Amino acid sequence: MSKTILSVDDSKSIRDMIGFTLQPKGYDVIGAGDGLEGIAALKANKVNLVVCDLNMPNMNGLEMVRKVREDRSFDGIPIVMLTTEAQKEKMLAAKEAGAAGWLVKPFDEAKLVSVVNKMIGGAQ
Amino acid sequence: MNPAAESFVQESRDILEDLEGIVLELEADPSDPKRIDAVFRALHTLKGSGGMFGFATLAAFTHHFESAYERIREGKAAVTPELIQLSLASRDHLERMLDAGPDEDGTPATDPATAELVAKIEAMDNSSAPVSAKAANCACFTITFKPEPTALRNGMRPELLIAELQELGDATVSVSTVDVPLLRDLDPAVCHLSWMIELETAADRDAIDDVFIFASDWQIDVQQVEAGTGSDLPAPASSRAESVADSSKSDTSDAARGAQKTDSVRVPSHRLDELMDQLGELVIAQARLNRISTDLGDAGLSSTAEEIERLVTGLRDATLSIRMLPIELVFGKFRRVVRDLSTELGKDVQLSTLGGETEVDKNVIDSLTEPLVHIIRNSIDHGIESPEERRAAGKADRATVAMRARQAGGEVLISVTDDGKGLDAEAIRARGIERGLIAADQDISEDQLFGLIFEPGFSTAKALSSVSGRGVGMDAVRRVIDDLHGAVEVKSVKGRGTEVTLRLPLTLAIIDGLLVKVAGGPFVLPLSNVEECVELPCDENERQSGRSILRIRDQLVPFLSLDTLFGFDRIESSERRVVITSVEGRRTGLVVDEVIGQYQTVIKPLSLYHRGIEGLAGSTILGDGAVALILDAAAIVRRAQNALKSAA
């Protein structure tokens, strides 16, 4: 069974970019528009990895990481943060809260694939 | 001499013996970099350990000897007849130095003979200036890391990081479990482990840091270590050691192995056999103790008996592991075999090996060389095409023979795969019919057909060559593997190649057996031969020459009665069962009076007088002190078949 990646981002173009990049590599990609939707999606699906933006309406990335890590049923699901160089502080806070890794924007497709593979060891 | 020095002398003599062979081979083929490396490694080991065991003179002399080969390795000098001559003389000189024993006061001494040889070596070097350190292209790192306790919850996967490190080079991974709490305090989602990895890699520090890029909050320590051998040698030596290890990736790094050897103990193998023997007795005594304690039902005795059982099991595993050696020892020999054979037969073949670290019982290792030689010979001689044929078939000129080993449960699987033309099923069928092994119209599966190549006297080679084609090869393979309680399988795709797989038990000393009774006496059948046990049908009247046929799930299986075969009187019993054995891919039933159950069997050899009896593989002592004979199912079936043939 292929692994499922959840992309949490308020920008549809980023979600699409993640989907278009990872689907050909054998991953299933689902999307959510903010942290609240993201947690709902985590509950509804068996997700193997979350790629999560920092700045989002309703519930931002940092809050989402905290919520996810509070819930023991999500243990073991790595969260990769999408950040920019300028958000270093927030990124470290997210790491502290339990994010597993990060991708610094702008990133290319190869970088995204390599980080996802590194985290969960490939699509199979 | 102290025991450590003695062991050094013993090891060094082995090295010098090998060295002579290698130097002679080098004379025949002066440009072979592998041999040059081999000489270099041998000398490096001598030099490294010599200093540590008080042979400083020897170490100093070896340093000069080694320098000469270093220049050759770097392409600054060539192998000349003078060098070969000088190498042999130096080798003999080293032997004399070993005979003389360690230096009295631990400092290098000079004597005229040494000085003369050194002068000659240096004259060959033209410049006696020490070779400048080449940039080390291979480095050793010791990496320790302890993930954050929350790492697993956060989805970090330490095993993936370790896998990434392993991709960088040769990694030895060890895990520390000291921080693992008691079971009642254990939270399975919290990471309590830490790891230490010794990594030998051509990659640099940055590549290692990259692996841990998302693990910056862990306790990580990366240290570059010098791969020196612990003696006070000049710096270039250690960087050379690293480059040797690098250039000989396919070989196991002898330099590293040499370093490991210094903290291991060499023990004569008969002492191990003695230990095994005693342990076997202990296992038996322990089984007896268990029986008595069960009979008595005393709680104190039972718990002691249980504890002893646990200790004996631990002791058994530990002792068996002493006897385990990496199969690389066998694989190593084949580089030469493949090289020589391919040269002789005008074929271009490379050998690749995988899983050389798989460990196998020493006795199994000792018996493996011969069958593997036969298999490899057959592959190269019959399987692999000439470079022209290969080109015509659209294959690479250079053929590959791959030897792979891996452990699967209690077995070791060793496979030899070639990318040659594969087995010719039609030719095998024709030959089988010609030899009377199968009937002309016999419907036979491909597996069974390929199995024919292991029959005595079978050979389809069109012309006899000096290498194979004498038809004594593959049946010898099966005989040896049978003796080891193993099995041989062949797979082949025409035009694509052939794979021969040997399945071997991990150890020969203790097997899992099925304890049965025949005519009141206990016997053990190796469980590896047993497929299942079924009820004996009441009407046994389809009897033909002592053999009967049983229908099991729509397959006809012949069976024999062990009591008849052994000449016992039949004891009528309602417990009579048929044990279905699988030997060489054929199923045969053996009728026994009673199946008692699985039994861990410590194999004892039969006395010299009884050893030749066909059908017996050994004996064992049961928990109650009774002796049970271990049956050799393959030989019993063979004997019955021969009896049948001669009757017909």
Query: Which residue of A95, A100, A102 is in closest CB contact with B155?
Result: A100
Between chains, do B217 and A72 touch, taking CB under 8 Å as contact?
no
Model pTM score: 0.41
Between chains, do B156 and A95 touch, taking CB under 8 Å as contact?
no
CA distance B519 to chain A (A): 56
C-alpha span between B18 and B41 (Å, rounded): 11
Helix (H) or strand (E) holding B194: strand B194-201
Residue of B nearest to A122 (CA): B160
Residue of A nearest to B188 (CA): A75
Residue of B nearest to A93 (CA): B217
Q: For residue A4, what pLDDT is reported?
A: 92
Looking only at the bridges linking them, the beta strands covering B521-526 and B627-631 are: parallel
- pLDDT of residue B350 exceeding 50, the answer is yes
Phi, psi of B129 (to 5 degrees): -60, 140
Report, as an integer, the average pLDDT of B323-350. Answer: 81
Residue of B nearest to A96 (CA): B217
- pLDDT of residue B541 exceeding 60, the answer is no
Q: For residue B131, what pLDDT is reported?
A: 37
3-state DSSP assignment of residue B175: strand
Q: Closest Cα to residue A53, out of A97, A32, A83, A91? A: A83
Report, as an integer, the average pLDDT of B494-500. Answer: 88
C-alpha span between B227 and B373 (Å, rounded): 35
Q: For residue A49, what pLDDT is reported?
A: 93
Confidence of residue B410 (pLDDT cuts 50, 70, 90): low
The 10s digit of each residue's pLDDT in B367-387 is: 888 888 888 888 888 888 888
Q: For residue B92, what pLDDT is reported?
A: 84
Contact B530, B581 (CB under 8 A): yes
Q: Could you give the C-alpha distances from B149 to B195, B203, B465, B483, B517, in angstroms and in order? A: 14, 29, 66, 52, 57
Segments making up each domain of chain A, as ranges: 4-120
- pLDDT of residue B583 exceeding 80, the answer is no
Q: For residue B415, what pLDDT is reported?
A: 92
The topology under which CATH files domain B139-225 is Alpha-Beta Plaits (3.30.70)
Helix (H) or strand (E) holding B548: strand B547-552
Between chains, do A75 and B153 touch, taking CB under 8 Å as contact?
yes
- Best to test chain B binding among A75, A111, A116 (most B CBs inside 10 Å): A75
- Best to test chain A binding among B214, B216, B217, B218 (most A CBs inside 10 Å): B214
Residue of B nearest to A73 (CA): B153
B523 or B61: which leads in pLDDT: B523
Contacts of B213 in chain A (CB under 8 A): 101
The topology under which CATH files domain B510-647 is OB fold (Dihydrolipoamide Acetyltransferase, E2P) (2.40.50)
Between chains, do A69 and B154 touch, taking CB under 8 Å as contact?
yes
The CATH classification number of A4-120 equals 3.40.50.2300
Confidence of residue A111 (pLDDT cuts 50, 70, 90): confident
- pLDDT of residue B388 exceeding 90, the answer is no
C-alpha span between B195 and B174 (Å, rounded): 6
Query: Which residue of B160, B214, B217 is in closest CB contact with A121?
Result: B160
Cis before residue A106, ω within 30 degrees of 0?
Answer: yes
Q: For residue B508, what pLDDT is reported?
A: 65
- pLDDT of residue B22 exceeding 80, the answer is yes
Confidence of residue B408 (pLDDT cuts 50, 70, 90): confident
Query: Which residue of B164, B189, B216 is in closest CB contact with A75?
Result: B189
Q: For residue B437, what pLDDT is reported?
A: 77
The 10s digit of each residue's pLDDT in B69-84 is: 878 877 777 788 788 8
C-alpha span between B84 and B285 (Å, rounded): 59
Q: Has the ipTM of the complex gone over 0.85?
A: no
Confidence of residue B547 (pLDDT cuts 50, 70, 90): low
C-alpha span between B31 and B73 (Å, rounded): 10
Query: Which residue of A75, A99, A121 is in closest CB contact with B157?
Result: A121
C-alpha span between A26 and A2 (Å, rounded): 6
Between chains, do B157 and A49 touch, taking CB under 8 Å as contact?
no
Say yes or no: A42 contacts chain B, CB-CB below 8 A: no
C-alpha span between B596 and B579 (Å, rounded): 12
Q: Closest Cα to residue B588, out of B547, B619, B558, B553? A: B558
Between chains, do B214 and A101 touch, taking CB under 8 Å as contact?
yes
C-alpha span between B269 and B242 (Å, rounded): 33
Contacts of A121 in chain B (CB under 8 A): 157, 160, 163
Residue B140 identity: C
Say yes or no: A120 contacts chain B, CB-CB below 8 A: yes
Between chains, do A76 and B153 touch, taking CB under 8 Å as contact?
yes
Contact B244, B238 (CB under 8 A): no
Report, as an integer, the average pLDDT of B608-623. Answer: 80
The 10s digit of each residue's pLDDT in A85-96 is: 677 787 788 888
Segments making up each domain of chain B, as ranges: 3-131, 139-225, 270-323, 325-505, 510-647
- pLDDT of residue B142 exceeding 60, the answer is yes
Contacts of A78 in chain B (CB under 8 A): 154-157
Q: Closest Cα to residue B378, out of B346, B412, B401? A: B401
- pLDDT of residue A55 exceeding 80, the answer is yes
CA distance B182 to chain A (A): 22
Contacts of A76 in chain B (CB under 8 A): 152-153, 155, 189
Most confident range, picked from B17-21, B143-147, B537-541:
B143-147
Report, as an integer, the average pLDDT of B185-194. Answer: 84
In chain B, which residues touch A (CB < 8 A)? 150, 152-157, 160, 163-164, 189, 213-214, 216-217
Q: Closest Cα to residue B282, out of B535, B621, B645? A: B621
Contact B93, B117 (CB under 8 A): yes
The whole-chain average pLDDT of chain B stands at: 77
Query: Which residue of A72, A102, A119 is in closest CB contact with B155?
Result: A119
A·B CB contacts under 8 A: 47
Which chain A residues in 46-75 lie under 8 Å from chain B, judged by CB atoms?
49, 69, 72, 75
C-alpha span between B73 and B248 (Å, rounded): 12
- pLDDT of residue B260 exceeding 70, the answer is no
Say yes or no: A88 contacts chain B, CB-CB below 8 A: no
Report, as an integer, the average pLDDT of B240-264. Answer: 42
Between chains, do B154 and A72 touch, taking CB under 8 Å as contact?
no
Between chains, do A78 and B156 touch, taking CB under 8 Å as contact?
yes
Query: Which residue of A98, A118, A119 is in closest CB contact with B150?
Result: A98
C-alpha span between B227 and B216 (Å, rounded): 27
CA distance A57 to chain B (A): 24
Comparing B380-389, B417-426, B582-591, the range with the smallest average pLDDT is B582-591
Between chains, do A98 and B153 touch, taking CB under 8 Å as contact?
yes
C-alpha span between B469 and B71 (Å, rounded): 44
CA distance B151 to chain A (A): 8
Contact B405, B355 (CB under 8 A): yes
CATH superfamily of B3-131: HPT domain (1.20.120.160)
Structure tokens at B231: 């003696």
- How far is Cα of residue B128 from the mean position of the Cα atoms in its chain? 44
C-alpha span between B229 and B53 (Å, rounded): 12
B325-505 is classed in which CATH architecture?
Answer: 2-Layer Sandwich (3.30)
Q: For residue B94, what pLDDT is reported?
A: 87
The 10s digit of each residue's pLDDT in B295-313 is: 888 888 989 988 998 898 8
- Which residues, listed in sequence order, are joined to residue B580 by a DSSP beta bridge? B532, B589
